[in-house]
């Protein structure tokens, strides 16, 4: 078929994150391709998410059948310059095939997991996600894992409770806060199991932290996927398919914003329920804090710390700064390496204009991190300026850091300079704030290093000449010290 023919337009899923994200992107892309009469393709590599200890993605031929691979696999990656990005504006506009022809594109990359929400055509014409997902032709091993789950017999009506943990509770993303909504805290599980029992349903617990699952089973009587044979799977990917298929056979699935749970929901056409369907945010916070008051020592420290984090996020906008610090201090005592807690504690002090106390918290963390790795930005500064999921997780704290910096507190000013450089592209104000930090503590080597880094400018992401100029600015800064 000629490349200029609109019918040859390719809708491609190219995500490289975990199993759930890849499968959902593929279901979306194929649903749109089938709806419009275009071709569907996908990339698949074993290069998974950043924290491989929490994500296992096998090679493509371990997941899909040879025929499915032959028809749809585009390789481990594709040259993206030949594709447009399928987003809300593109999907709501003219024919994708016509636009691709005009722009001489092979097709469109469809990696937005919520893209189908923007479909504006006749709803009855849209090929459904669930039907599309079930049409995927998996490998023999995956089919056998799904079949084994389908053979399982529940002793009573069952609801699945997905306690996602992994990198959000135990890994690097526990400091981001932005992903916390993907998780139902283990410290809320006891109450959910009790409520489901009152509604006449037993609970199937699915999670990633075995010690926590075993504890909750002993305390609540809930069942685990291991009770139905999950532990027989040495391969983590096959176990994942087994567990998703098992969840798909439940009456309902309770989960956070988990793509893994969403795939299970689509597999079985069963309702996916957020924890808010049982408890609103203040209720959840109260339940979690009461559970930790009575049972904190029974939980893994990071699971308990995440419980406090969840409670804090639920009440952050309504609690007093003192109440917020009380919860955050308990979390920090359990997870000292999580900069989110120190950052939010400092911000809570700044909200009350207790700049000295907030500055002391910042100085302690920044000094420790700089001594361990003598480079700017230190970890807590990088966290402040990092964009995740198209937003800055700590944006609501920026104005309080700026106020403390402008009041003459050097570490607050140093962090503010970094925020301004990374998030506002306000070079003049960033440099002024860096100078303010040095003026407040002229002999401090850390704030002087921060000023040098700010004067050097924001590091370019691409361009050999731009990177060379940035490097020269750094060398000049060394000579000017």
Lowest-confidence region among 32-36, 340-344, 473-477: 473-477
d(CA 374, CA 370): 5
Report DSSP state, residue 64. B
Burial class for 234, CB neighbours closer than 10 Å (0-12, 13-18, 19+): exposed
- Provide the pLDDT for residue 281: 93
Peptide bond into 132 cis (omega under 30): no
pLDDT in tens, 114-162: 999 888 777 678 899 999 999 999 999 999 999 999 999 999 999 999 9
Residue 413: pLDDT band with limits 50, 70, 90: very high
Best CA proximity match to 423, nearest among 384, 377, 469: 384
Q: Given CA atoms 132, 43, 240, 17 in this order, what sign does their dihedral have?
A: negative
- Over range 469-479, report the average pLDDT: 52
Residue 4 has pLDDT above 50, yes or no: no
The phi-psi region of residue 177 (left if phi > 0; otherwise alpha if psi is between -120 and 50; otherwise beta) is: left
d(CA 365, CA 363): 6
d(CA 287, CA 281): 10
Residue 102 in tokens: 């005009």
- Provide the pLDDT for residue 471: 57
- Provide the pLDDT for residue 475: 52
Lowest-confidence region among 79-93, 394-408, 450-464: 450-464
Residue 126 in tokens: 């849209």
pLDDT in tens, 6-59: 558 999 999 998 899 999 999 999 999 999 999 999 999 875 444 455 556 889
Residue 397 has pLDDT above 70, yes or no: yes
Lowest-confidence region among 50-64, 220-234, 341-355, 368-382: 50-64
Work out the mean pLDDT of the chain and round it to a whole number: 91
Residue 169 near residue 265, CB atoms below 8 Å: no
User: Of 412 and 463, which is predicted with more confidence?
Assistant: 412
* Residues with Cβ within 8 Å of residue 98, at least 6 apart in sequence: 6
- Provide the pLDDT for residue 458: 77
- Over range 80-93, report the average pLDDT: 91
**CA distances (Å), origin 93, targets 88, 89, 118:** 9, 6, 11
Q: Please tell me the pTM assigned to this model.
A: 0.89
Residue 478: pLDDT band with limits 50, 70, 90: very low
- Provide the pLDDT for residue 426: 84
- Provide the pLDDT for residue 2: 35
- Over range 337-363, report the average pLDDT: 97
* Residues with Cβ within 8 Å of residue 222, at least 6 apart in sequence: 161, 189, 193, 202, 203, 204, 205, 216
Burial class for 356, CB neighbours closer than 10 Å (0-12, 13-18, 19+): exposed
- Over range 428-433, report the average pLDDT: 95
Residue 108 near residue 88, CB atoms below 8 Å: no
pLDDT in tens, 152-199: 999 999 999 999 888 899 998 999 898 999 999 999 999 999 999 999
Best CA proximity match to 151, nearest among 228, 41, 230, 218: 228
- Provide the pLDDT for residue 15: 94
**CA distances (Å), origin 183, targets 206, 256, 284, 351:** 12, 5, 13, 28
Residue 423 has pLDDT above 70, yes or no: yes
Q: Given CA atoms 438, 444, 448, 450 in this order, what sign does their dihedral have?
A: negative
- Provide the pLDDT for residue 125: 84
Residue 424: pLDDT band with limits 50, 70, 90: confident
Q: What percent of the chain has pLDDT over 90?
A: 80
pLDDT in tens, 286-314: 999 999 999 999 999 999 999 999 999 99
Residue 466: pLDDT band with limits 50, 70, 90: very low
């Amino acid at each position: 078929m000629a490349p200029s023919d609109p019918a040859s337009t390719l809708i491609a899923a190219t995500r490289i994150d975990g199993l759930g994200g890849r499968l959902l992107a593929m279901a979306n892309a194929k649903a749109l391709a089938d709806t419009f009469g275009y071709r569907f393709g996908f990339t698949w590599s074993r290069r998974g998410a950043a924290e491989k200890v929490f994500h296992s993605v096998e090679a493509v031929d371990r997941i899909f059948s040879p025929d499915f691979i032959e028809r749809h696999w585009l390789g481990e990656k594709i040259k993206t310059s030949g594709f447009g990005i399928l987003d809300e504006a593109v999907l709501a506009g003219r024919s994708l095939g016509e636009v691709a022809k005009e722009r001489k594109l092979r097709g469109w990359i469809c990696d937005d997991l919520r893209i189908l929400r923007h479909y504006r055509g006749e709803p009855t014409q849209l090929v459904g996600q669930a039907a599309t997902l079930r049409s995927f032709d998996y490998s023999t091993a995956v089919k056998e894992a799904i079949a084994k789950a389908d053979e399982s017999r529940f002793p009573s009506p069952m609801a699945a409770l997905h306690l996602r943990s992994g990198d959000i509770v135990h890994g690097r993303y526990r400091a981001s806060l932005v992903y916390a909504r993907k998780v139902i805290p283990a410290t809320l599980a006891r109450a959910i199991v009790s409520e489901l029992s009152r509604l006449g349903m037993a609970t199937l617990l699915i999670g990633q932290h075995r010690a926590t699952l075993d504890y909750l089973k002993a305390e609540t009587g809930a069942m685990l996927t291991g009770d139905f044979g999950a532990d027989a799977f040495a391969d983590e990917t096959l176990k994942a398919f087994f567990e998703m298929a098992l969840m798909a056979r439940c009456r309902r699935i309770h989960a956070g914003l988990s793509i893994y749970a969403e795939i299970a929901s689509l597999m079985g056409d069963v309702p996916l329920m957020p924890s808010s369907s049982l408890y609103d945010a203040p209720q959840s916070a109260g339940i979690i804090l009461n559970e930790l008051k009575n049972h904190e020592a029974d939980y893994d420290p990071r699971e308990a710390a995440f419980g406090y984090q969840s409670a804090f996020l639920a009440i952050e906008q309504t609690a007093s700064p003192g109440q917020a610090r009380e919860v955050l201090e308990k979390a920090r005592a359990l997870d000292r390496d999580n900069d989110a807690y120190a950052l939010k504690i400092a911000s809570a002090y700044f909200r009350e204009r207790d700049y000295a106390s907030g500055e002391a918290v910042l100085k302690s963390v920044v000094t420790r991190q700089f001594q361990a790795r003598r480079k700017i930005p230190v970890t807590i500064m990088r966290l402040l300026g990092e964009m995740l999921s198209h937003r800055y997780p700590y944006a609501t704290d920026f104005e309080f850091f700026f106020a403390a910096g402008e009041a003459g507190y050097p570490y607050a000013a140093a962090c503010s300079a970094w925020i301004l450089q990374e998030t506002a592209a306000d070079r003049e104000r960033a440099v002024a704030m860096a100078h303010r930090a040095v003026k407040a503590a002229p002999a401090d080597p850390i704030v002087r290093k921060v000023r040098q880094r700010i004067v050097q400018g924001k590091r370019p992401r691409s361009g050999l000449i731009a990177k060379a100029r940035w490097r020269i600015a750094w060398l000049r800064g060394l000579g000017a010290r």
